């Protein structure tokens, strides 16, 4: 988001950042008013911080509750008290995974702590005087960098001749990180308020993504990949994962006109960038 807007249009308030002009903010120890003294020039705030890895939330529940819930409530209270509209990013993990293609009016029943924490903030917002927008995110992808690690990890497995162990029953709605930024910006600019799903155009399983990736790699080299299928329950995780928490973005598209990149295009772009970098 900050890379898109730049310092002329935004203020980056972060715990740690590569941006040299960002403002340090420790949400566990500081109040937002400690670093933003004057809110008169702030037109909209976007709350992106938190521990977003479900396993780490479960492994240190007290710490993750302090960060993901208690500190977020303080930030919301500060913004509401200063009359600042806000966007909060929630998660597809608010659903139990029993059915997919969820829409905003479907019942929520998170089965792990991370999903419970996100849902707690959603409900807290509903009880405040804040002017808010909640964006429930699907799995966020990029075609390079840290958020590309799932596709890139499989490419590296192919290159090394490793067997890829892939769950067939985990289904989600992956979305390009640039589209997440665009969706949040469009909603803020259009003053769209309420609960929305900011996710890919269609549900896709992890196994389908793996096969999609293999096919894309075949455009650059011969592939003799071994894929071992399994259930998400077969992995040793500290908490259960919802199996099909996929969502549909129709409401947000109708409200903002957002163009969402098909996951097939993200996959092909990731493979292209990987092999172009190798050739260099």
- Domains along the sequence of the chain with CATH: 2-279 (3.40.50.720)
Residue 18 is predicted with a pLDDT of: 67
CA angle (110 as vertex; 105, 111 as ends), nearest 5:
150
Distance, CA of 91 to CA of 248 (rounded, Å) = 13
Residue 173 is predicted with a pLDDT of: 95
Residue 45 is predicted with a pLDDT of: 97
CA distances to 128, 130, 133, 214, 247 from 81, in Å: 10, 8, 16, 51, 32
Distance, CA of 71 to CA of 94 (rounded, Å) = 19
Query: Strand locations in 92-174, DSSP E?
Result: 132-137, 140-141, 164-167, 171-172
Residue 19 is predicted with a pLDDT of: 63
Nearest Cα neighbor of 128 from 197, 78, 91 is 78
Identify the three-state secondary structure at position 245: coil
Residue 73 is predicted with a pLDDT of: 98
**Residues 47, 49, 50, 51, CA torsion sign:** positive
Q: Is 30 exposed, middle or buried (0-12, 13-18, 19+ CB in 10 A)?
A: middle
Residue 143 is predicted with a pLDDT of: 74
Residue 227 is predicted with a pLDDT of: 96
Distance, CA of 143 to CA of 177 (rounded, Å) = 9
What residue ranges of the chain have pLDDT lower than 50? none
Residue 183 is predicted with a pLDDT of: 98
Identify the three-state secondary structure at position 218: coil
pLDDT (tens digit per residue) in 77-91: 999 999 999 999 999
CB neighbourhood size of 258 (10 A): 19
Distance, CA of 268 to CA of 173 (rounded, Å) = 17
Residue 166 is predicted with a pLDDT of: 95
CA distances to 216, 231, 273, 274, 277 from 280, in Å: 20, 38, 11, 10, 5
Decide: 151 and 141 in contact? Cβ < 8 Å: yes
């Amino acid at each position: 988001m900050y890379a898109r807007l730049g310092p002329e249009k935004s203020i980056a308030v972060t715990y740690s950042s590569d941006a040299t002009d960002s403002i340090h903010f420790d949400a566990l120890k500081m109040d937002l008013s400690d670093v933003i003294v004057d809110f008169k020039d702030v037109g909209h705030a976007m709350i992106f911080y938190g521990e977003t890895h479900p396993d780490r939330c479960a492994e240190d529940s007290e710490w993750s509750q302090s960060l993901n819930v208690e500190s977020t409530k303080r930030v919301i209270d500060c913004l509401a008290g200063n009359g600042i509209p806000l966007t909060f990013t929630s998660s597809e993990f608010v659903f139990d995974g029993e059915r997919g293609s969820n829409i905003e009016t479907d019942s929520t029943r998170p089965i792990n702590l991370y999903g419970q924490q996100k849902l707690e903030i959603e409900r807290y917002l509903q009880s405040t005087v804040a002017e808010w927008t909640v964006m429930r995110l699907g799995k966020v992808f990029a075609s390079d960098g840290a958020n590309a690690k799932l596709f890139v990890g499989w490419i590296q497995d192919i290159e090394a001749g490793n067997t890829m162990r892939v769950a067939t029953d985990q289904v989600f709605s992956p979305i390009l990180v640039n589209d997440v930024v665009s969706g949040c910006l469009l909603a803020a600019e259009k003053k769209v308020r309420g609960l929305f799903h900011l996710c890919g155009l269609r549900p896709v399983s992890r196994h389908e993504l793996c096969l999609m990736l293999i096919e894309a790699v075949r455009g650059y080299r011969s592939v003799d990949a071994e894929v071992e299928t399994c259930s998400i329950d077969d992995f040793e995780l500290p908490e259960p994962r919802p199996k099909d928490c996929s969502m549909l973005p129709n409401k947000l598209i109708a409200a903002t006109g957002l163009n969402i990149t098909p996951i097939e295009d993200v996959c092909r772009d990731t493979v292209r960038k990987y092999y172009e970098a190798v050739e260099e």
